[in-house]
Amino acid sequence: MEYMTLLLVFLFSLFFSLALGWKEKGEKINVMQRLGRSAPLEEEIVNGKIAERKGSFRERVIIPLFKRIFELLAGLLPGGMTASTEIRLKQAGFNSEAAVGAFLAARLLSGIVLPLLICLILPVPFAGWIIIFMLGLSLPGLYLAACRRRRQEEIEKTLPDILDLLTVSVEAGLGFDGAILKVTEKSRGVLAEEFHRLIKENRMGKNRRDSLRDLAARLGNEKVDSFTRAIIQAEQLGIGFANVLRLQAEQVRRQRKQRIEEAAMKAPVKMLIPLVLFIFPTIFIVLLGPAVLKIITIFQ
């Protein structure tokens, strides 16, 4: 039992460290990487010795160590599975380079920690161990799906207003890049952050079409994908952005209205089961209960 407790403490510490490393969502664009690291890293020479770069112990040791571990774990997966996992993580908002390895480590740890916790509390047969292990492996995936769902809901909620702001900005005389910059200044949330990243990529020399395609891939939203394809097509054909943006905004608002109407039409059907199982029996008991009791007393 003492060894089990020590192992559990170690796994909890490791899991906490992994969580610290995985929490870093932002993906920084490094100029030195684009130049092929042609310049040396910043170093300070003090008393003839090369001093280490400034930073906390977590930044200098812990995070690089776990990033290396995550990269090794990600390398164990086949290429197709790694790519699909990376897409899922980006669509959930985890853009770190080590996110794939961190996700795999979280799955393994949850698959080990959860059975150990239950073993310390209850005696579990071997078949139960397998079930609990599979449940632990699926917990990070469920959390990832919940993050992606919340992210998609925020995108659906803010996209019409952002498209309206883009339309007004372009009609006021701003270029498309200027309108995107205005959105990042006036808005908050997932789309504003992704548009800010789009501006940074364009300033670094990336083609606008590629930046828009990457934006649609990171967000994984059908309406955003339609918006990016419309902008790319308008740029290729020389069509004015204002008309395209206005049509996109109207289409998104119409689709949202249709979705709300569809949900309202489904509400009576969803209410039918609670009515039949819970509300109607209670009403029948209240209305017919006294009469039934009176009939029983008469026949007795």
pLDDT of residue 10: 56
Tell me, letter by letter, the H, E, C secondary structure of the chain. Answer: CHHHHHHHHHHHHHHHHHHHHHCCCCCCCCHHHHCCCCCCCCCEEECCEEECCCCCHHHHHHHHHHHHHHHHHHHCCCHHHHHHHHHHHHHCCCCCCCHHHHHHHHHHHHHHHHHHHHHHHCCCCHHHHHHHHHHHHHHHHHHHHHHHHHHHHHHHHHHHHHHHHHHHHHHCCCCHHHHHHHHHHHCCCHHHHHHHHHHHHHHCCCCHHHHHHHHHHHHCCHHHHHHHHHHHHHHHHCCCHHHHHHHHHHHHHHHHHHHHHHHHHHHHHHHHHHHHHHHHHHHHHHHHHHHHHHHHHHHC
**Percent of the chain whose predicted confidence (pLDDT) is above 70:** 72
Q: What confidence score (pLDDT) does residue 87 get? A: 81
Matching residue, tokens 């899922």: 88
Confidence of residue 28 (pLDDT cuts 50, 70, 90): very low
| Domains of the chain, earliest start first | 2-25+54-123 (no CATH), 153-255 (1.20.81)
Q: Which residues, in sequence order, are CB contacts of 81 under 8 Å at separation 6+?
A: none
Using the Cα atoms of residue 86, residue 90, residue 95 and residue 99 in order, give the sign of their dihedral: negative
Q: In which band, very low, low, confident or very high, does the pLDDT at 51 lie, cut at 50, 70 and 90?
A: very low
173: left (phi over 0), alpha (psi -120 to 50) or beta: left
Higher model confidence: residue 59 or residue 296?
296
**The predicted structure's pLDDT at residue 80:** 60
Is the separation of the CB atoms in 236 and 217 below 8 Å? no
Q: What is the mean pLDDT of residues 4-23?
A: 54
∠ Cα 75 76 82 (to 5°): 65
- Please provide the distance, in angstroms rounded to a whole number, between the alpha carbons at the two ends of the chain: 65
Residue 54 has pLDDT above 80, yes or no: no
Least confident range from 41-55, 97-111, 271-285: namely 41-55
- The CB-based long-range contact list for 62-66 (8 Å cut-off, 24+ gap) reads 62/17, 62/20, 62/21, 63/20, 63/21, 63/24, 66/17, 66/18, 66/21, 66/98, 66/102
Distance CA 265, CA 263 (A): 5
Give the range among 53-57, 77-81, 255-259 with minimum mean pLDDT.
Answer: 53-57
Beta-bridge mates of residue 46: 49
Per-residue tokens: 150: 């919340």
Mean pLDDT of 76-105: 74
